[in-house]
């Protein structure tokens, strides 16, 4: 059982029998009024987006999902393909159900595939993944523009802001919960 | 994992924050206000139904410096201000931190309308002094500080944006939802808005309007949909204040919230407090506004999650 205090981006709950993923969350408190918990949720089965505002004291059932560790294999027109390394079963998940997770899927990465009634409907990523920078502009020493970050493209095609000293070919750690650069992987 | 890069990227924002706080201080000092430093840890916060204080060694961390500052008014201080930390349990969001910085100022011999004018002067001067000018851009809107600021009563705001009369929202128990979802996002979009005259039951420490006791002399300042400040014509009637505190305490008890002792010294001294008005302005929010920051996280050195 979750309470409003547990609400955050990424939480999965059950509403009217369906699993929902919280995709945006904010706390509001209009002028000395009561606390309001504003959420945007995506139905993990049909993709419907719901806006709901909750008050203190409300509780939620977790989404009842099975998770199985699988390896990411490849992508084609049917979506992203994963394999259960225990049973060698393969599953395809459409891009729309993956959300931001597709930014971090490199070949052979192991993720938790979420199944609802035997059907794969999404993935859970590790909080941090290491990805290689494939394109970024070089850092000009003595740059006085005052810029504290620059765009970089990583091997999955995802583009994010990184510190100026990051160079092409370097491995960086990304926080998958925020999509932000975290650190440079040394060595 | 380290947060260093994220923290280092805020250095520009923190420099501007320091400049803004410097301007706030100069504004009040130049106007003859005394800067006060009242204790953070106090025995009895003002009982308010939706604000929870953090317990601290038998007492509480202040949720606002209000009680101590009003005792100073009662003791004869006429113009006082304070920039300090306040704590409120479980308040965390894109515009909330459980530990945040508040600017409060109090002045005798004026009411909430006098504070509206002073608010206008303060923000114009701070924006000018820190190089932001009189037109600030926030979330894609250009907001003119030098235009005449809008004054909109809560009742009018329900008629204009709320989709229902204020009374219906109160009896239906949806006042806060309507304000948060329909009204607030429409306020202060091209010039700042004072939302004023709140229902009497929503101003625990505010004086009621003599010509309409169904509303309290209270306003909130909104700029770019962001709530920045809350002000009252201060209630100086001891019996009335005690009965309102008891009412709030009853609501808190019914909800199972932590009970506070009544601030007896404050109540005893309230009778000596001259007519006055006071206002609390969220400094982190003001910095967010001037810097067009998306989250409150962007304008502080550390968030609780980074500790």
Average pLDDT over residues B153-176: 96
Q: Chain A closest CA to B3's CA: distance in Å?
A: 7
Residues B128-147 have a mean pLDDT of: 95
CA distance B2 to A184: 10
For residue B89, pLDDT beyond 90:
yes
Position A140 pLDDT exceeds 80: no
What integer pLDDT is reported at residue B97 of this predicted model? 98
Question: pTM of the entire structure?
Answer: 0.92
Across the interface, of A30, A53, A181, the residue whose CB is closest to B5 is: A181
pLDDT value at position A143? 59
Nearest CA in chain B to A165: B5
Strand partners, B103: B83, B281
Q: How far is CA B85 from CA A38, B104, B281, in A?
A: 26, 11, 12
Q: What is the mean pLDDT of residues A31-35?
A: 90
Reported as a pLDDT band with limits 50, 70 and 90, residue B1 is low
Best B172, B177, B218, B279 residue to mutate vs chain A (most A CBs within 10 Å): B177
What is the model's pLDDT at position B61? 98
pLDDT-derived band of residue B269, with 50, 70 and 90 as boundaries?
Answer: very high
Instruction: Tell me the C-alpha distance between B124 and B113, whole Å.
Output: 17
Query: In this predicted model, what pLDDT tens digit does every residue of B191-228 receive, in sequence order?
Result: 999 999 999 999 888 999 999 999 999 999 999 999 99
Q: Name which of A30, A147, A170 to mutate to probe chain B: the one with the most chain B Cβ atoms within 10 A of its Cβ.
A: A30
Nearest C-alpha neighbor of B12 from the set B153, B130, B171, B155 = B130
User: How do strand B150-153 and strand B193-199 relate by DSSP bridges?
Assistant: parallel
> Is residue B68 scored above 60 in pLDDT?
yes
**Contact in structure between A96 and A43 (CB atoms under 8 Å):** no
CB–CB contact B5 A183 (8 Å): yes
Pick left, alpha or beta for residue A142 (phi over 0 → left; psi -120 to 50 → alpha; otherwise beta): left
* Residue A173, pLDDT above cutoff 80: yes
A85 touches chain B (CB under 8 A): no
What ipTM is given for this predicted complex?
Answer: 0.90
Question: Residue B20 and residue B100: Cα distance in Å, rounded?
Answer: 15
pLDDT at B113 over 70: yes
- On the question of pLDDT at A144 being above 60, the answer is no
B34-35 and B79-87 beta bridge pairing: parallel
Mean pLDDT of A167-186: 92
At A47 the pLDDT is: 86
Q: How confident is the model at residue B2 (pLDDT cuts 50, 70, 90)?
A: confident
Question: What confidence tier does A142 reach under pLDDT thresholds 50, 70, 90?
Answer: low
How far apart are alpha carbons B199 and B155 in whole angstroms?
Answer: 9
Predicted confidence (pLDDT) at residue A145 exceeds the cutoff of 70? no
**How far is residue B137's CA from residue A128's CA, in Å, rounded to a whole number?**
35
**Mean pLDDT computed over every residue of chain B:** 96
Condensed to tens digits (0 to 9), the pLDDT of residues B4-50 reads: 888 888 999 999 999 999 999 999 999 999 999 999 999 999 998 89
Q: Rounded mean pLDDT of chain A?
A: 91
Task: Please tell me which of the candidates B96, B181, B230 has its beta carbon nearest to residue A27.
Answer: B96
Query: Contact B146/B124 with Cβ under 8 angstroms?
Result: yes
Output the pLDDT for position A187.
Answer: 66
Task: Say if strands A18-28 and A12-15 run parallel, antiparallel, or are unpaired.
Answer: antiparallel
Give the pLDDT of residue A141.
66
Average pLDDT over residues B85-106: 97
**pLDDT digit string, tens, across residues A50-93:** 999 999 889 999 999 999 999 999 999 989 999 999 999 999 99
Q: Once rounded to an integer, what is the mean pLDDT over residues B279-297? A: 97
pLDDT of residue A28: 94
Confidence of residue A147 (pLDDT cuts 50, 70, 90): low
Helices (H), chain B: 4-8, 11-30, 66-74, 112-129, 154-157, 166-171, 175-178, 238-254, 264-270, 283-291
Phi-psi domain of B76 (left: phi exceeds 0; alpha: psi -120 through 50; beta: other): left
What whole-number distance in Å separates Cα of residue A29 and Cα of residue A134?
Answer: 44
Q: Is the pLDDT of residue A178 over 70?
A: yes
Q: Is A38 near chain B, with CB under 8 Å?
A: yes
Residue-level pLDDT at B6: 84
Which chain A residues are closer than 8 Å to B48 by Cβ? 32
Lowest mean pLDDT among A123-127, B181-185, B288-292: A123-127
């Amino acid at each position: 059982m979750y309470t409003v205090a547990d609400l955050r981006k990424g939480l999965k709950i059950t509403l009217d029998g369906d699993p929902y993923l919280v995709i945006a969350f904010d706390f509001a408190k209009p002028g000395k009024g009561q606390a309001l918990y504003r959420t945007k949720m995506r139905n993990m089965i049909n993709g419907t987006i719901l806006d709901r505002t909750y008050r203190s004291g409300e509780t939620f059932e977790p989404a009842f999902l099975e998770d199985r560790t699988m390896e990411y294999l490849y992508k084609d027109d049917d979506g992203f393909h994963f394999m259960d390394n225990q049973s060698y079963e393969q599953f395809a998940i459409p891009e729309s159900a993956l959300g931001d997770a597709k930014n971090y899927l490199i070949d052979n990465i192991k993720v938790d595939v979420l199944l609802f009634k035997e059907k794969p409907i999404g993935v859970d990523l590790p909080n941090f993944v290491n990805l290689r920078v494939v394109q970024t502009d070089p850092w000009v020493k003595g740059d006085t523009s005052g810029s504290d970050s620059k765009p970089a493209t990583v091997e999955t095609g995802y583009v994010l802001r990184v510190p100026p000293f990051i160079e092409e070919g370097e491995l960086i750690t990304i926080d998958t919960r925020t999509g932000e650069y975290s650190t440079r992987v040394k060595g | 994992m380290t947060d260093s890069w994220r923290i280092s990227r805020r250095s520009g924002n923190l420099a501007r924050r320091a400049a803004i706080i410097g301007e706030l201080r100069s504004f009040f000092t130049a106007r003859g206000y005394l800067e006060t430093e009242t204790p953070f840890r106090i025995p009895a916060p003002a009982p308010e139904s939706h604000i929870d204080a953090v317990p601290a060694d038998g007492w509480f961390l202040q949720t606002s410096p209000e009680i101590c500052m009003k005792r100073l008014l009662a003791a004869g201080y006429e113009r006082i201000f304070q920039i300090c930390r306040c704590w409120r349990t479980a308040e965390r969001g894109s515009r909330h931190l459980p530990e945040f910085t508040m600017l409060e100022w109090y002045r005798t011999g004026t009411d909430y309308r006098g504070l509206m004018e002073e608010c206008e002067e303060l923000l114009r001067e701070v924006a000018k002094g820190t190089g932001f000018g009189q037109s600030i851009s926030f979330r894609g809107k250009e907001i003119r500080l030098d235009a005449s600021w809008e004054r909109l009563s809560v009742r009018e705001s329900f008629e204009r944006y709320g989709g229902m009369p204020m009374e219906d929202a109160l009896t239906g128990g949806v006042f806060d939802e309507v304000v948060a979802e329909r009204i607030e996002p429409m306020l202060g979009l091209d010039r700042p808005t004072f939302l004023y005259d709140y229902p009497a039951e929503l101003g625990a420490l505010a004086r009621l309007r003599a010509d309409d006791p169904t509303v309290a002399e209270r306003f909130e300042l909104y700029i770019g949909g962001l709530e920045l400040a809350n002000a009252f014509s201060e209630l100086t009637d001891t019996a009335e204040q005690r009965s309102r505190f008891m009412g709030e305490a009853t609501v808190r008890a019914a909800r199972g919230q932590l009970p506070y002792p009544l601030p007896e010294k404050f109540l005893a001294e309230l009778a000596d407090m001259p007519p006055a008005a006071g206002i609390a302005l969220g400094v982190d929010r003001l910095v967010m506004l001037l810097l067009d920051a998306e989250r409150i996280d962007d304008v502080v050195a550390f968030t609780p999650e980074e500790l």
